[in-house]
Amino acid sequence: MNLFPKGFLTFVIIAAFLSPSAAFAGTASEIHLTADSAFSAKRITVIQKAGSNLFARAIWGQAFVRLTVLVQKSTVITKNHGEPMTVADIKEGDILDIEGTLASGADTLMINPTRIRDISLERESQTLSGTVASIDRVGFSFVLSNKAFGDTRILLSASTPIGKGARSIQFADLSVRDKVLSASGVYDYTTNALAASEIKVYQDKGIFTPRNFEGTLKSVAGTTLPAMLTVTVKGTDYNVYLTPQSSVLKKSKAATTLSRFVVGDTVRFHGAIRQSNLTEVDADVVRDLEF
């Protein structure tokens, strides 16, 4: 008579070691071994590595069972939350969840694993998006409200690149309520913090629509086209670039030359702000309103 139907957990040594150890329920190892040699285990501790072989233990309090895990090229290995890794990333002392089969012909617990999950590795690559909720200027970080993890602290270094549209900006240019398209880096699940390697911020394209500007002429570089004017508009100095195709006009809209423009004149120009620099304008028309 078959006392152990197929699929029954026959690895009776588990029961012996789990005795009164309900206290170990959250930390003790689990081993499941079926009659067809299918093996699965949780919370297996790596004691030593030799190439791609892992010498490990299933531990219950002061009791333990030794296992040899023969990692294959086909073995799927991931960090705790799913990021792929290799056997080289596994360290002594790491805790593993393992699925596989018993190696045939072995008189000890020797495992051919199909899947290994290293539950010790809580830092994984992530890319988050959301809205800047607050900024710590001293701590060089900001809080990003995002759907994935809620409010996550984004940690930057002085070399972390920050892009806004086609421009590179500084940490000081970030503002609360800015939309972050992507904050990429290494996320720590234990602290809900991301050490950013790159940040991209949303840029409203509407500001690049050609429009009229009016301000005070600060300087003129060149009296024939192409040329550049510097014009102060509402406290901001714009470098206004004119091409040979640009129109240079006086107040009546009749054609004139830049040689008649005088510093301090009120000028009006039409053009588009450059996406690479918000203080540079490519103008197709400029008028001096003083003559």
List pLDDT tens digits, range 26-77.
579 999 999 999 999 999 999 999 999 999 999 999 999 999 999 999 999 9
Cα distance between residue 119 and residue 82, in whole Å:
10
Top CATH class, 206-288: mainly beta
Q: What is 13-118's CATH number, 2.40.50, 2.40.10, 1.10.3470, 3.30.70?
A: 2.40.50
Higher pLDDT, 251 or 9: 251
> CA–CA separation, 58 vs 27, rounded Å?
11
Q: 123-203 belongs to which CATH class?
A: mainly beta
H helix runs in the chain, sequence order: 13-17
State pTM to two decimals.
0.78
Six-digit token string for 182: 């992507």
Span 73-107, pLDDT tens digits: 999 999 999 999 999 999 999 999 999 999 988 77
Domain span(s) for CATH 2.40.50.320 in the chain: 123-203
Q: Which of 166, 175, 147, 170 is nearest to 158 (CA)?
A: 170
pLDDT on residue 26: 59
Residues 104-155: tens digit of each pLDDT: 887 789 999 999 999 999 999 999 999 999 999 999 999 999 999 999 999 9
CATH 2.40.50.140 region(s) of the chain? Answer: 206-288
pLDDT over threshold 50, residue 23: no
Tokens of 224: 């024939």
Nearest alpha carbon to residue 265 among 254, 277, 249, 280: 249
